[in-house]
Amino acid sequence: MLNVLWETEGLQAVGIVVLVCASLKLLHLLGLINFSEDSVEDELELSAVRHRPEGLEQLEALTRFNRKELQILYRGFKNECPSGVVNEDTFKVIYSQFFPQGDASMYAHFLFNAFDTDKDGSVSFEDFVMGLSILLRGSVQEKLNWAFNLYDINKDGYITKEEMLDIMKAIYDMMGKCTYPLLKDDTPRQHVEIFFQKMDKNKDGVVTIDEFIDCCQNDENIMRSMQLFENVI
Amino acid sequence: MAAGVAAWLPFARAAAIGWMPVASAPMPTPPPDNRRKQDGLILLNVSGQKFQTWRNTLERYPDTLLGSTEREFFFHEETNEYFFDRDPDIFRHILNFYRTGKLHYPRQECISAYDEELAFFGIIPEIIGDCCYEEYKDRRRENQERIQDDEDSENQNDMVPPDMTFRETMWRAFENPHTSTMALVFYYVTGFFIAVSVMANVVETVPCGTLQNRVKQVSCGERYALAFFCLDTACVMIFTVEYLLRLMAAPSRWNFIKSVMSVIDVVAIMPYYIGLVMTDNEDVSGAFVTLRVFRVFRIFKFSRHSAGLRILGYTLKSCASELGFLLFSLTMAIIIFATVMFYAEKGSSASKFTSIPAAFWYTIVTMTTLGYGDMVPKTIVGKIVGSVCSLSGVLVIALPVPVIVSNFSRIYHQSQRADKRRAQKKTKLGRIAARKSGGTSAYLQYKSNGLLSDLIDEVTVDPSQALVCKANPMFDTHHNHLLHCLEKTTNHEFVDEQTFETSLLEVSMAKHPPHSPSLSSGSSSQGLSCCSRRNKRKSFNVPNSNMTGGHRNSIQELSTIHIRERPITNSRSSLNAKFEETVPLNCKQPYITAAVITLPTPPVTTPENDGSASSPDYSQANIVRVSAL
């Protein structure tokens, strides 16, 4: 008899507790009460990052572009990035659109690091235009310097085989799968070996900036190809 | 590639310098850089509204009108701009496409106008951005459906192709009862009998008072069993005949048998036949009684008669997924609440909730807010659960209902639109006919004037006419000259609609009358040329008459004059007995249903006759308007 009584009462109690919890949860869901301290709604992350570049005159002084060229460059830049800065993801997206067959994200990552000279995680118009100035209007020395900077991932002044391998793999990734002849897995490695054989004069396993520049200046092909993109703008 | 990204191509090329030191082979020479002309502004004038943009912006998409050399066709030297005589509001969106690489569809624009503009500027609509693509596709589909509906309803009410087999006519009569009176009669008769049959089924079960020697009430069905049986037999016979006729007339029998209406028909009449067969067997009479339930399906036969029912059925079919969702969610909720209820009420004494399935009934009644009260919870928990149950029931049922309602409303409005269009079509056709005949009469007028001017130097133009023609004289003259050239090319001439219809009917009648068909066909062909000649003759006869109200009316008058005289002469000079038999001369009206037969009677000179060849005149005089039956 008592058991039956306990049973019913126990059931009632359990039922009430369950109902109360459920209603609390429902109210929380509806936003009427909140348990935690932070607000219930999602904080809309306003991308408050806006960047305005320095004036045309200053940029003219800093780079080797004239006014008209800077105007054209800025218009293109602002069209694609209205907020005035490029972050790495946008950079990757933009660059990948030029290489649809392969995966350009790794190379874009390295490029981004090469352009982002002040290491603030975003490429502003100044960074962009200064990088372009070196690439298009700089002396061969400066260009080679820039290329070395690109390959030297950790910026320690030495290009190791691993760094070179990363770069090489990134470049080969851009090709994608459908190539002729078929890309083998160790093609990048072989290419790195060739590169090191050529560049590493003292065979210490790393390439320094001087070795690099010396070697490139002695190579006809490389010298010629450096002048290739003079008239891009 | 997006347009904006094209602006980054110089950057990508510059960054390629990074590959140079590792390259194993020499690089290819770069393409010759045609010293790009200074990127200038282009002025686009669209119907007075000026747009300006960089030349490079437009040339991002070289396969469109603005991006290719095609735009040079629109260059206007005097103002040194490109002029387009198009809608500037829509052009705004097209120009934005060049600027941003995304094409948007403005919601307030008409879909066909937008499509036209896109086609003009050479832009494919598939590149509409994701933000607007769905809306565009929806509107387009709606428009296509509407056009399809128009075409379908037009096709339905077209002129009856004259040579339809009997089977096709019958099928047409069944599908569209408005086509002929026979079909209409049949339609109403079947409707009446459906109603009678359903009423009989209903009244059968009403208690009708007591029989002698019995105490309890008997139903009317048992009391007047014979009467009801006869009624049922009659109805079923009609339904059977109807079904067999439809089956016979259907263009595709298999499709017809598969269709819903045919299934309903079969189910409606089957119980009767099964009942006939099975009355002997006592064991299955119980089943036979159940079969009678199916007789109620006869009420579904009304859906042929009522468009609203059909719409409802169609709506339910198209909302099948919503209905399924409703059912599923209801079932879930019922099971949950019934379980909770059962366990909550398990303790209370004499509880009606003996099992979970027993609790289903309570849950359903509560969720649909019926609340019969035959089962009520007694414990507190049970009551709380019951209240939550009723609240959630309201919500769950209310959710899919708007979807179903909006579907129904859309389909209903569509059918309303179809009906409205049908009603408007008559006036529309009238207007179109007036315009067409106006056009032909204008041309025929011109012809008479023009021909006159060929022969007579002065062009006698009615002052009222001149007023009318002033609107667009150059266009009209060129147009009329064109039509004249066509006539000369084909050696045929344009005639107005009446005469054409007349000659057409002659041709068709020429097939039917069993006597002297050859003569009639001969005369009818003559009739065609005669019609035009009649026009000419008329113009000679009435050189300077006031042609008020168009050419046609004067022809009408003359022809009536013609005809009014005819019957008298005919009666006088009728020698052809056959002619008299076949033609009931109705002297009151100028309408004579006459087979065109050249009378071998001597030519009777009519006052209008200018002495030209009599036999053509003769047959011409016989060409009369035929009353349309």
- Where is average pLDDT lowest: A184-188, B336-340, B590-594? B590-594
Q: Which residues pair with A87 in a beta bridge?
A: A122
Q: Give the mean model confidence (pLDDT) for residues A80-99.
A: 84
Could you tell me if A34 lies within 8 Å of chain B, comparing CB atoms? no
Write down how long chain A is.
Answer: 233
Provide the pLDDT for residue B607.
41
Q: Give the mean model confidence (pLDDT) for residues B283-295.
A: 71
Q: How far apart are CA B41 and CA B26, in angstroms?
A: 39
Provide the pLDDT for residue B285.
63
Provide the pLDDT for residue B397.
84
Provide the pLDDT for residue B162.
64
Cβ pairs bridging A and B (under 8 Å): 116
Could you tell me if A130 lies within 8 Å of chain B, comparing CB atoms? no
pLDDT at B554 over 90: no
The CA radius of gyration of chain A, in Å to the nearest whole number, is 29
| DSSP-assigned states of every residue in A110-149 | HHHHHH-TT-SSEEEHHHHHHHHHHHHHS-HHHHHHHHHH
List of chain B residues whose C-beta atoms are within 8 Å of the C-beta of residue A229: 13-14, 16-17, 30
Could you tell me if A125 lies within 8 Å of chain B, comparing CB atoms? no
- Where is average pLDDT lowest: A119-133, B47-61, B203-217? B203-217
Q: How far apart are CA A81 and CA A88, in angstroms?
A: 12
Q: How far apart are CA B261 and CA B276, in angstroms?
A: 24
Residue found under tokens 């912006």 = B57
Q: Give the mean model confidence (pLDDT) for residues B195-219.
A: 80
**Which H or E run contains B225?**
helix B225-249
Structure tokens at A63: 């780079």
Instruction: Share the mean pLDDT of chain B.
Output: 74
pLDDT at B279 over 90: no
Q: How far apart are CA A195 and CA B611, in angstroms?
A: 112
List of chain B residues whose C-beta atoms are within 8 Å of the C-beta of residue A98: 1, 5, 8-9, 12
pLDDT, tens digit, 9 for 90 and up, residues B463-500: 444 444 445 566 677 777 777 777 777 777 777 666 76
Provide the pLDDT for residue B512.
54
Q: How far is A196 from chain B (nearest CA, A)?
A: 10
pLDDT at B567 over 50: no
pLDDT at B586 over 50: no
Provide the pLDDT for residue A36.
63
A61 touches A72 (CB < 8 A): no
The CA-CA-CA angle for residues B364, B366, B368, to 5°, reads 70
ipTM of the complex: 0.74
Q: Give the mean model confidence (pLDDT) for residues B60-70.
A: 87
Could you tell me if A191 lies within 8 Å of chain B, comparing CB atoms? yes
Percent of chain B at pLDDT above 90? 17
pLDDT, tens digit, 9 for 90 and up, residues B14-28: 888 888 777 777 777
Q: Is the peptide bond before A181 cis (omega within 30 degrees of 0)?
A: yes
Could you tell me if A144 lies within 8 Å of chain B, comparing CB atoms? yes
Could you tell me if B251 lies within 8 Å of chain A, comparing CB atoms? no
Q: Decide which of B452 and B448 is more confident.
A: B448
Q: Give the mean model confidence (pLDDT) for residues B188-210.
A: 87
| B384/A233 CB distance under 8 A | no
Provide the pLDDT for residue A38.
55
DSSP B214: -
Q: Give the mean model confidence (pLDDT) for residues B170-198.
A: 86
Q: Give the mean model confidence (pLDDT) for residues B346-350.
A: 83
Where does the pLDDT of residue B386 fall: very low under 50, low under 70, confident under 90, or very high at 90 and above?
very high
Residue found under tokens 């509906």 = B149
pLDDT, tens digit, 9 for 90 and up, residues A23-43: 889 888 877 776 665 554 544
Could you tell me if A195 lies within 8 Å of chain B, comparing CB atoms? yes
pLDDT at B277 over 70: yes
- Beta-sheet strands, E only, within B131-234: none
Query: Could you tell me which of A81, A76, A78 has the C-alpha nearest to residue A93?
Result: A81
pLDDT at B458 over 70: no
| H helix intervals, chain A | 2-30, 56-62, 67-80, 88-96, 105-115, 125-137, 140-151, 161-175, 187-199, 209-218, 220-226
pLDDT at A86 over 50: yes
Q: Which residues pair with B154 in a beta bridge?
A: none
Nearest by CB to residue B13, choosing from A80, A195, A232, is A232
pLDDT at B518 over 90: no
List of chain A residues whose C-beta atoms are within 8 Å of the C-beta of residue B2: 97
- Where is average pLDDT lowest: A65-69, B95-99, B320-324, B558-562? B558-562
pLDDT at B593 over 80: no
Percent of chain B at pLDDT above 70? 68
- Contacts of residue B478, defined as CB under 8 A and 6 or more positions apart, other chains included, come to none
Q: Decide which of B489 and B51 is more confident.
A: B51
Where does the pLDDT of residue B357 fall: very low under 50, low under 70, confident under 90, or very high at 90 and above?
very high
